[in-house]
Amino acid sequence: MMTYMPAKTSRRTILSVFFAAFFSILLNAVAAIPPAEKLLPDDTLIVVGTPDFTALREVYNTSPQTRLLNDPAMKPIKDKFISRLKEEFVQPLERELGVKFDDFANLPQGQATFAITQNGWQGSADQPPAALFLLDVKGKSSQLKTNLAELRRKWVDAGKTIKTEKIRDLEFTSYMLSDKEVPKTLKKILAPGGDESAADSATNAPKSELVIGQFESLLIAGNSAKAVEKVVAHLTGGSAPALADVPAFEANRLAFFRDAPFYGWVNAKAFLDLFYSKPADKDSDTPNPLAMFSPDRLIAASGLGSMKTFAFAFQASADGSLGQFFVNAPESSRQGLLKLLPGDGKESSPPTFVPADAVKFQRSRIDGQKAWATLQKILNDLSPQLMSGVNFALDTAGAAAKQKDPGFDLQKNLFGNLGDDMISYEKAPRGTSLPELNSAPSLFLLGSPHADQLTDALKSILVLMNPAGAAPAEREFLGRKIFSVPLPALALTSGPGKSAGRNLSYAASGSYVALTTDAAMLEEYLRSGESQQKTLRETPGLVEAAQKVGGTSVGVFGYQNNLEVSRALFETLRKTAGTDSNNSAPLPGMEFPVAAGGFKDWVDLSLLPPFEQISKYFYFSVYSVSANADGLTFKMFAPVPPQLKKQ
Q: What is the pLDDT of residues 329-353, one digit of tens each?
A: 999 888 888 888 887 888 999 999 9
Q: Report pLDDT for 277.
A: 59
Strand extents, DSSP E, 59-121: 112-117
Q: What is the pLDDT of residues 501-516, one digit of tens each?
A: 688 999 999 999 999 9
Query: Hey, which residues does 85 pair with through a beta bridge?
Result: none
What kind and span of H or E run contains 148?
A: helix 141-157
- Work out the percent of the chain whose per-residue pLDDT is above 70: 81
State mean pLDDT over 224-232: 95
Q: Which of 147-151, 183-187, 195-199, 387-391 shows the lowest per-residue confidence on average (mean pLDDT)?
A: 195-199
pLDDT score for 26: 40
Percent of the chain with pLDDT over 90: 52
Helix, strand, or coil here: 312? Answer: strand
C-alpha 581: how far from chain center: 28
Query: 65: phi > 0 → left, psi -120 to 50 → alpha, else beta; which?
Result: alpha
The arithmetic mean of pLDDT across residues 565-573, rounded, is 92
Model confidence at 594, pLDDT cuts 50, 70, 90, reads very low
Residue 293's pLDDT band (boundaries 50, 70, 90)? low
Mean confidence (pLDDT) of the chain = 84
508: DSSP letter: E
Q: How many CB atoms lie within 10 A of CB 128?
A: 14
Can you say whether residue 612 is alpha, beta or left, with left for phi > 0 and alpha for psi between -120 and 50 degrees? alpha
Q: Which long-range contacts (CB under 8 A, 24 or more apart) does 195-198 make?
A: none
Identify the weakest region by mean pLDDT among 181-195, 422-436, 463-477, 593-607: 181-195
User: What DSSP designation does 554 have?
Assistant: S
Q: Which residues, at least 6 apart from 25, have a Cβ–Cβ distance to it below 8 Å?
A: none
**Composition of the chain by helix, strand, coil, percent to 5:** 45, 20, 35
Dist. CA 213–CA 199, nearest whole Å = 29
Q: Give residue 221's pLDDT band: very low, low, confident or very high (50, 70, 90).
A: very high
Report the Cα 639 to chain-centroid distance in Å.
Answer: 19
Q: What is the mean pLDDT of residues 226-238?
A: 94
What average pLDDT does the segment 72-97 reach? Answer: 89
pLDDT at 158: 81
pLDDT for position 291? 59
- CA dihedral of residues 302, 304, 306, 310 (deg, nearest 10): 160
* Cβ-based neighbours of 210, under 8 Å, separated by 6 or more: 174, 175, 177, 221, 222, 223
**Per-residue buried b or exposed e for 323-338, using 16+ beta carbons within 10 Å of the residue's own CB:** bbbbbbbeeeebbbbb
Q: Which residue would you say has higher pLDDT here, 559 or 345?
A: 559
- Burial zone of 581 (CB within 10 Å; 0-12 exposed, 13-18 middle, 19+ buried): buried
The predicted pLDDT at position 148 comes to 92
Buried b / exposed e across 16-48, counting CB within 10 Å, b at 16+? Answer: eeeeeeeeeeeeeeeeebebbbebbbbbbbbbb
Q: Grade residue 246 by pLDDT with cuts at 50, 70 and 90.
A: very high
| Cα 288 to chain centroid, rounded | 33
Mean pLDDT of all residues in 57-83 = 95
Q: Flag whether pLDDT at 249 surpasses 60.
A: yes
Average pLDDT over residues 199-223: 79
* Mean pLDDT in residue range 402-414: 84
Q: What angle is formed at CA 591 by the lines to CA 589 and CA 595, rounded to 5 degrees?
A: 170
Residue among 332, 605, 558, 569 nearest 423 (CA): 558
Q: Supply the pLDDT for residue 22.
A: 43
Nearest to 605 by CA among 591, 622, 585, 630: 585
Of 4-18, 221-235, 619-633, least confident by mean pLDDT is 4-18
418-462 confidence digits (pLDDT tens): 999 999 999 999 988 888 888 899 999 999 999 999 998 888 777
Element of type H or E holding 50: strand 44-50
- Residue 59 CA neighbour count, 13 Å, CB half: 18
The DSSP symbol for 42 reads T
Least reliable range by pLDDT among 80-84, 147-151, 197-201, 526-530: 197-201
Peptide bond just before 342 cis, omega within 30 deg: yes
How large is the average pLDDT for residues 256-269?
A: 94
Instruction: Find the distance separating the first CA and the last CA of the chain, reported in whole Å.
Output: 55
* Over residues 469-485, mean pLDDT: 88
Phi/psi at 417 (5° precision):
-105, 10
pLDDT at 191: 57
What pLDDT band is residue 23 in, cutting at 50, 70 and 90?
Answer: very low
Higher pLDDT, 194 or 639: 639
